[in-house]
Amino acid sequence: MTTTTPDPARVQTWAGRADVAQHSVDLLYGAAPPQLLHNGHPEPADTTFNYWWLAHVVDCRLDAYARTGDDAWLDAARATAANIRERNDGSLFNDYFDDMLWYALALLRLAEATPDDGERAALEADVVALWEHVVTLGWNDVHGPSLSWRKQQPDYKNTPANGPLAILGARLARRTGDGAYLDRALATVAWLEEHLVGPDGFVEDGLGREGGTDVDTHWRFTYNQGLYVGACVELYRATGDAGWLDRAERTALTSVRELATDGVFRREGDLVDDDVPDTAGGDVGLFKGVWYRYAALLLEERAVPAVEDLVRTSTDALWAHGLVPHDGVRPADGASAAAVEGVRQAGVVLRPGDDWTRPAPTQVGYSTLLSAVMALEVRARRA
């Protein structure tokens, strides 16, 4: 049997580090079909079908494809998109409107990366089907015209559902030229600004979760800030109105000021999984990844030094504290040969916790690693 000597030069660039992060997902969580990825490491924790986590895996694979041009990453994105539908009994739809919108956003990016006309048209048709399903079943006038979080709670409205709707609407408007998508996006952001965006741009999570009109002000999450930033940037791109960039910048700066500690996002409201002994992950593990994805859109349009600084300081901390030797980690039972070889050549595996200023706890969900992947892909683009 041949062995590969680790090459430290492979991890001296941020692009190389992003490669390590991508391979680490498959090494730590790879599973035989139809599971595709175990939910946890070292314990698989596969009770839940995490539809929305997988939608973000599609996005992460597309990030790698955009950076490298390697068709293997595009194939991985395709396989993950198909896996969501296969494990969802062949259906595009579930009960959560935010889940379906994450899937639609990923499928739209996949369509844009797909050269085959027939395959691209089929993906675009799925995006439109998801849009129509969400708007038809989820949009109502409770608390003002806006989208519900899930089918079972039509009176609960939040940023996690309305943010992706606005982003998708603006993108579809640009792609198709259909002004109805833009109108919906504008109406959605207007509702957010009336109910959940404060004077300083800080974005609250939702209202009406327990009935009534109470706002969940104790849930101070990075991903809500990222979603509003992304919606504003996409509305700028759709309308040309630079005022949208002003709003995006205000919220991005406020999120850094309010939610970062010493240059790192360490807490998510009162739901930090690292506060539970020996665990990290869950849905909260993905939250800051959403912030990085959409903050990066703002940086593509406008220099915002405080945001650039946060990307640098936080990914520096991630790389300093999230690494383990490749021969000190038990690979998942479905780890791909490419992932095993990739981390062997690098000599390290990225296995962070939710707090990037300290080593990971014993059990880590792959949602947490996806946030790290997204952050490192942004750093690689900005390096």
Cα 163–chain centre separation: 13
Q: Lowest-pLDDT range, 203-207, 254-258, 276-280, 295-299?
A: 276-280
Q: Is the pLDDT of residue 249 over 80?
A: yes
Q: Which one-letter DSSP state was computed for residue 30?
A: B
What is the per-residue pLDDT across 72-95, written as a single tens digit (0 to 9) for each?
999 999 999 999 999 999 999 999
Q: Across the chain, what does the average pLDDT equal?
A: 95
Quote the strand ranges of 4-135, DSSP E: 40-41
Beta pairing partners, 279? 363
Beta pairing partners, 147? 139
Question: Which whole number is the average pLDDT over 180-190?
Answer: 98
pLDDT-based confidence at 275, cuts 50/70/90?
low
Provide the residue count of the chain.
383
Question: Which whole number is the average pLDDT over 47-75?
Answer: 98
Question: Which whole number is the average pLDDT over 28-41?
Answer: 98
Q: Is the pLDDT of residue 277 over 90?
A: no
Residue 6 has a pLDDT of 74
- Burial class from Cβ neighbours inside 10 Å (0-12, 13-18, 19+) for residue 328 reads exposed
Residue 2 has a pLDDT of 40
| Rg over CA atoms, the chain | 20
Residue 88 has a pLDDT of 98
Residue 47 has a pLDDT of 97
Among the CATH numbers 3.60.10.10, 1.10.3470.10, 1.50.10.20, 1.10.260.40, which is that of 8-90+179-382? 1.50.10.20
Q: Which one-letter DSSP state was computed for residue 116?
A: -
* Secondary structure element (H or E) that encloses residue 323, with its range: strand 323-325
Q: Is the pLDDT of residue 8 over 80?
A: no
Q: Answer yes or no: are the C-beta atoms of 226 and 291 closer than 8 Å.
A: yes
Q: Is the pLDDT of residue 240 over 80?
A: yes
pLDDT-based confidence at 39, cuts 50/70/90?
very high
Residue 7 has a pLDDT of 76
Residue 278 has a pLDDT of 79
* Secondary structure element (H or E) that encloses residue 206, with its range: strand 206-207
What's the first-to-final CA gap in the chain, in angstroms? 38
Residue 270 has a pLDDT of 60
Reading the block at residue 41, the tokens are: 């490491």
Beta pairing partners, 280? 364
Q: Is the pLDDT of residue 216 over 80?
A: yes
Q: Is the pLDDT of residue 198 over 70?
A: yes
Residue 3 has a pLDDT of 46
Distances in Å between the Cα of 115 and the Cα atoms of 58, 69, 111 are 17, 13, 8
Cα 290 to Cα 211: distance, rounded to the nearest angstrom: 27
Who contacts 150 (Cβ-Cβ below 8 Å, separation ≥6)?
95, 96, 97, 98, 156
Question: Which whole number is the average pLDDT over 213-233?
Answer: 96
Q: Is the pLDDT of residue 1 over 60?
A: no
- Listed by start position, the domains of the chain span 8-90+179-382
Cα 60 to Cα 41: distance, rounded to the nearest angstrom: 19
CA-wise closest residue to 370 among 92, 108, 37, 96: 37
What is the per-residue pLDDT across 312-326, written as a single tens digit (0 to 9) for each?
999 999 999 999 999
What is the per-residue pLDDT across 324-348, written as a single tens digit (0 to 9) for each?
999 999 999 999 999 999 999 999 9
